[in-house]
């Protein structure tokens, strides 16, 4: 099993989540590489309006361009790009550019969008008919990355012989990872993705995972795709074992997901109130990473 780690970008006022400066972000990514993680992912948000405050984040595509030059071996990606923010052709172009900058280490994670509706309204971004917009855009992104060109006359998105003239180090571009929880989104993943991704934040979420995977298999079978050709990854929010578990106990819990067909886990470590403490959370995972890689 492979292990990834998320670097949260969301900052809230009053010191609850400190602003992640560039120095903090790339130090944490380089530390993850040294610890032995296989992947670093960034979240993607413009703002996060809450009842009493509004959180903010740096733009994630620009940050990943910096991380591509600050690291050398670890894979880099989004978990996940917030699809309404950007035109699909631009997403494909950015993905190919990041793959070029990283020497083939970029992973394009994408979803229909999960920030509060007020976020889209504030920035003037249409986010109605979310599923239709997403699938039309995903088809354009898929065709551009896999074939180098795309044509689509959709209800919300269109491409008329669009081309990726410059191609990166991989013939079919970076892998496409689709975050999908509902039946229609799983069908979109079955049609266009190299990998399916979802998240769990509680024991109840983990208990629901086998049903998600069964649905995913059916979605593949409905379109004539071998389910074994669609990789599966999971974002897991820590702690995964209550109390003060040993590295062996945490690793065993993560490895139990492999028995369900999960090939990669992205670890969302507990958020701390200082950057030094957040960095220490990554460093403290060294023993778990070693044990998981050993199997």
Domains and CATH numbers, the chain: 2-294 (3.20.20.30)
Cα–Cα–Cα angle for 247, 263, 29, rounded to 5 degrees: 60
pLDDT recorded at residue 9:
92
The answer, yes or no, to whether residue 49 has pLDDT greater than 90, is no
pLDDT in tens, 178-192: 999 999 999 999 999
pLDDT in tens, 80-101: 999 999 999 999 999 999 999 9
The answer, yes or no, to whether residue 207 has pLDDT greater than 90, is no
| Average of per-residue pLDDT values in the chain | 95
Decide the pairing of beta strands 47-49 and 149-153: unpaired
45-49, 133-137, 190-194, 265-269: range with lowest mean pLDDT:
45-49
The answer, yes or no, to whether residue 145 has pLDDT greater than 70, is yes
| Spatial separation of the C-alpha atoms in residues 193 and 138, rounded to whole Å | 9
Long-range Cβ contact pairs of 214-219 (< 8 A, separation 24 or more): 215/183, 215/186, 216/180, 216/186, 216/189, 216/190, 219/183, 219/186, 219/187, 219/189, 219/190
| Spatial separation of the C-alpha atoms in residues 197 and 235, rounded to whole Å | 7
pLDDT recorded at residue 206:
84
């Amino acid at each position: 099993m492979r292990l990834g780690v998320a670097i949260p970008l969301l900052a809230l006022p009053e010191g609850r989540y400190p602003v992640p400066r560039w120095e903090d972000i790339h130090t944490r990514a380089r530390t993850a590489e040294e610890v032995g993680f296989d992947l670093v992912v960034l979240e993607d948000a413009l703002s996060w309006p809450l009842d009493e405050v509004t959180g903010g984040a740096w733009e994630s595509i620009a940050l990943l361009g910096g991380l591509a030059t600050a690291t050398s071996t670890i894979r880099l990606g989004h978990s996940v790009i917030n699809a309404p923010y950007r035109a699909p052709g631009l997403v494909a172009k950015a993905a190919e550019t990041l793959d070029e900058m990283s020497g083939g280490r970029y992973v394009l994670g994408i979803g229909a969008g999960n920030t509060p509706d007020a976020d889209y309204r504030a920035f003037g971004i249409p986010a109605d008919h979310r599923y239709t917009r997403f699938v039309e855009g995903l088809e354009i992104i898929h065709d551009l990355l896999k074939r180098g060109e795309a044509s689509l006359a959709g209800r919300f998105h269109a491409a008329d012989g669009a081309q990726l003239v410059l191609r990166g180090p991989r013939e079919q571009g970076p892998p496409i990872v689709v975050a999908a929880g509902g039946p229609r989104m799983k069908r979109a993943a079955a049609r266009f993705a190299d990998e399916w991704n979802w998240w769990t934040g509680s024991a109840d979420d983990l208990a629901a995972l086998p049903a998600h995977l069964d649905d995913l298999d059916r979605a593949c079978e409905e379109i004539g795709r071998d389910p074994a050709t669609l990789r599966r990854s999971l974002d897991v929010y820590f702690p995964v074992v209550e109390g003060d578990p040993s590295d062996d106990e945490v690793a065993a819990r993560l490895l139990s997901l492999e028995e369900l067909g999960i090939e990669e886990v992205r670890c969302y470590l507990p958020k701390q109130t200082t950057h030094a403490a957040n960095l220490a959370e990554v460093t403290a995972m060294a023993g778990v990473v070693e044990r998981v890689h050993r199997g």
